[in-house]
Structure formats: C-alpha cells, structure tokens
Amino acid sequence: MEFTLESTAGVPENGVLSIKIGETKRQGPVSKLGQPFRFVSSVAAPLPMKVELLTPAGPAQSVNLEPSQTSIVVNFGGQMSVTLAQRQAPELQRPLTDVKDAVSKGVPADRLKTAESAAAYLEQHNLVRTFQDLLHSLLVAKPADPFTYVEEHLGRIKALSKPDRGRCKEGTNVVKCSKVDALLEILQRTSQSLPLIMPMLPQDLREVLVGTELAEDCKKQFRLLDKEGKGKLGQDELVPVIVQLSATSSGSIAPDQVAKFMKAFDVNGDGAISIDEFTSLTQFVVIASHMESPEGQQLLQKAKLEENVFSEFISILQGDRNRINDIIPFLPDWFVDKLSGEEFIVDCHARFDELDKDKSGSLDPNEVLPVVISLCDANPDTVDRKRLMSFFSDIRCG
C-alpha cells in the first residue's frame, strides 16, 4: 500500500508526519507535499494504522563525528541533552572489493606476480577499505574543499591506526586515546569511586551481581577462554575479553595494556586470572558500565554529596570538641541548667539503654549507627564501619 501526502492545514512547518502500519514505520517532513509512504500490506487485509504529528522539542544540532570518541553528548539547549554511545560496527560496513580477484582477471602472465604483490600490499595496510570509505564519504558530504576534507579524513585514519594515541582526557566525554586506554581509564575511575557508590547501587543491580545467572554465565565464558583447561587465564586468554569490552581489534591491543588489565583483576598476584577473579572482573565491568550511564553519574554525584555531608559533620564535631571548654563560660544560665538538670540526664540514660541492645553497658559502632544517621542526616546505606569508627574517634575525649 502507498499513501501520498497531498496537503496540510494548521500544522507546524517543522513538523514530521509519522505513519505506522504493523511493525513498519515511515516518517517524513510535513513540508514535503507529494512524498510517498510505502508499506508492504494488502488492501484486502489492512493492518491498523497509527498516524502521529511530531514536532521538535529542541533545535536540530550539527555534530562533527570523531571516530575515536566512545560517546557523544548532544545538547539541545536548556537542560535537554542526549548521550550516544559510539562503536565501530564491522558487520554494517560495505563489502570490500576483492583486489586479488580483480587483478587476476585480464592481467598478462608476466605481470600477474607484480599485480598480486600490489594487491597484497593494499590489503596488508587496509588501504582498500580506507579509500573505499573515503570516496563514499566524499560523494555523500560533497565538501566545498575536497582536498582539505581528504587530508582531514586521512589524518583521522592515521591516528586511529596507532595502538597508543596518548592519554585519555579526564573529566571529559571526548576520549582522545585508544579504545583500550579509554577502557582502562573507565575501569580506574570506577575503582576509585567504588567505595562511595557500592552502598547505593540499585537493588535490582545488586541482585544481578550476586545472582546464579551471572555466576553460571561467568563459568561458561571462563571455560570458553580456558581452552587448555588450566583453570586459569593468562594474558593471551584475556585478549578476547579486552576486544569485547573495548570494541576494538586484537591487533590494536599492546602487551603493556594487557598487563595493566591483568594487574587490575589479579587479586592474589599469581600472574593469572582464576574463575573467582574472573567472576569479580565481570561484576566490576557490570558496575563500571552502570557508572558510565546517566543514572550511574547521578548516583555518583549523590554519593559524593553524602560523603561531603558526613565529612562536614565530622569537621564540626572536631571544631566543637576543641573549643567546648572555651564556650561553656559564655553559655546562658538556662541552657547550662538544662544540660545539667536531672530530667536531661534521665533522658540520656533512657536513650542509652534503648541503644544498648546487648546490655553491655557500652555502645559499639553498630549500636550508635542510629545516632550518627540522625545527627548528620545521612543515608543509612552510606554509613559504613570506617565512617562509624571515624565518628567514634572524634567523640572520644582523651
């Protein structure tokens, strides 16, 4: 079936007409009269049709793509933005011309060897793909200055062909280094933030991390990588893991990068990855992936805010403890009487008895936890034993 846009009335000029029949959707600008919307559907058995008029929520943005970026942030003005993950998709690339087959046709026998050598050279340096993509992009972009365009294109190809293209820029969404370096930088960043965000991870993510499905999947992947059945993975066996995580080719991974990856997860330092370490690696990667998402970034900001609140609370305690003796002489009489009065002391004893669950006559860190949370208005999930001990050390006198 075919539908043609004949006319419009009262619709925005920048509107987009969307027609959906079954699972097929066609869209086009309402300003383009006469455009067809074609569907594989029979008039004898028409499917339900859904028609929508879409209007832009923000102005269109032009983005200069950089192949080395792993993510692209597009701002539409105000607080509107989207983040697009970018990866190479070899399965979507146009098929390459078989230069070896091409040179073997119609070439005299005395020149065949030279032609085959030339074809091998082109394939060795991936020049067939390079110039095929270059010509295609030229015809699509039709730049006013094609020579500058070609120069910039070849410059990007040259930069991408290097295994190590320098350090990643911290604190930015644009990665100016190799994909493996970008992966290592993300893992390092997650490792530094792990103590902060672990207590605040969503419950569904926690269940995935400790679930039997993830554990079984780790065992299956480990067996596939451990082809010799040694029960551990060396650096060579880790290369496929890095390839999958960084969406790059094995040829662009340097030995020192594999060594860094190994060191990050080789807990016992034996130079290999056991099944338990591989499971921890997988769990860590799941967390890292979540932390790179917008939800993860919001979680990290919230965790940092909680950390600052607690740190400020401890600083206040330290300052108050150091000057308490200097302040007491200047306190109002009514306030001193209240603090030293029998009613206040009885209330303190009652509260102490309520917190002293084991009736030991003293409060351990876990028993004082409700007090800490109440005083600094902290998230209960973020107050760990380390923070409790910090609180204890700052309220002890002498």
pLDDT attached to residue 61: 79
Condensed to tens digits (0 to 9), the pLDDT of residues 254-265 reads 888 889 999 989
Q: Is 380 found in the same domain as 341?
A: yes
Measured CA to CA, the distance from residue 56 to residue 50 in angstroms comes to: 19
Name which of 119-123, 205-209, 267-271 the model is least confident about: 119-123
Neighbours of 339 (CB within 10 A): 12
In a domain, 259, yes or no: yes
228 and 289 together in one domain:
yes
377 in the Ramachandran plot: left (φ > 0), alpha (ψ -120 to 50) or beta?
Answer: left
Per-residue pLDDT, 245: 84
Please indicate, yes or no, whether residues 283 and 190 belong to a single structural domain of this protein: yes
DSSP 287: H
**CATH code, 228:** 1.10.238.10
Q: Does one domain contain both 285 and 333?
A: no
Domain of 15?
Answer: 2-54
Q: Is the pLDDT of residue 318 over 70?
A: no
How many Å apart are CA 122 and CA 90, to the nearest integer?
19
Q: Using the 3D structure, point to which of 295, 328, 357 is the last residue of a domain.
A: 295
- Burial (CB < 10 A; 0-12, 13-18, 19+), residue 280, is middle
- Domain assignment present for residue 171? The answer is no
What's the token pair of residue 11? 């619709």
Q: Would you state the torsion angle of the CA atoms of residues 364, 369, 372, 377, taken in this order, to the nearest 10 degrees?
A: 180
Q: State the Cα angle at 38 between 33 and 41, rounded to 5°.
A: 145
Residues 252 and 336 in one domain: no
Q: Which residue has the tokens 């030991």?
A: 360
CB atoms under 10 Å from CB of 137, counted, come to 14
**Is residue 66 assigned to a domain?**
no
Residues 204 and 116 in one domain: no
Q: Is the pLDDT of residue 333 over 70?
A: yes
235 part of a folded domain: yes
* Calpha distance 186→331 (Å, rounded): 53
CA distances from 248 to 43, 59, 208, 225, 244 (A): 48, 34, 27, 18, 7
Give the range with max mean pLDDT: 148-162, 273-287, 311-325.
273-287
Residue 311 and residue 272 share a domain: no
Q: What single-letter DSSP state applies at residue 263?
A: H
Question: Do 231 and 314 belong to one domain?
Answer: no
Using a 10 angstrom Cβ sphere, with 0-12 exposed, 13-18 middle and 19 or more buried, the burial of residue 138 is: middle
Looking at 270, 295, 320, the residue that finishes a domain is: 295
In a domain, 153, yes or no: yes
User: Two tokens at 383?
Assistant: 């107050």
Q: In terms of domains, do 186 and 286 share one? A: yes
**pLDDT over 90 (residue 338):** no
Our CA angle for 13, 7, 28, nearest 5°, is 55
pLDDT at 365 over 50: yes
Give a yes or no: residue 85 inside a domain: no
* Residue 29 is assigned to a structural domain of this protein: yes
Structure tokens at 311: 């740190």
Number of domains in the chain: 4
The answer to the question of residue 362 being in a domain is yes
pLDDT of residue 197: 77
C-alpha to C-alpha distance for 382 and 384, rounded to whole angstroms: 6
What is the rounded end-to-end Cα distance, in angstroms, of the chain?
87
How confident is the model over 24-55, as pLDDT tens digits? 888 999 988 988 888 766 555 556 788 999 98
Give the Cα separation of 311 and 193 in Å (integer): 16
Percentage with pLDDT > 90 across the chain:
10
Which of 295, 327, 361 is where one domain is finished? Answer: 295
Q: Are residues 186 and 281 in the same domain?
A: yes
State whether 190 and 288 are in the same domain: yes
Query: Is the domain of 286 the same as that of 196?
Result: yes
Could you say which DSSP state residue 105 is in? S
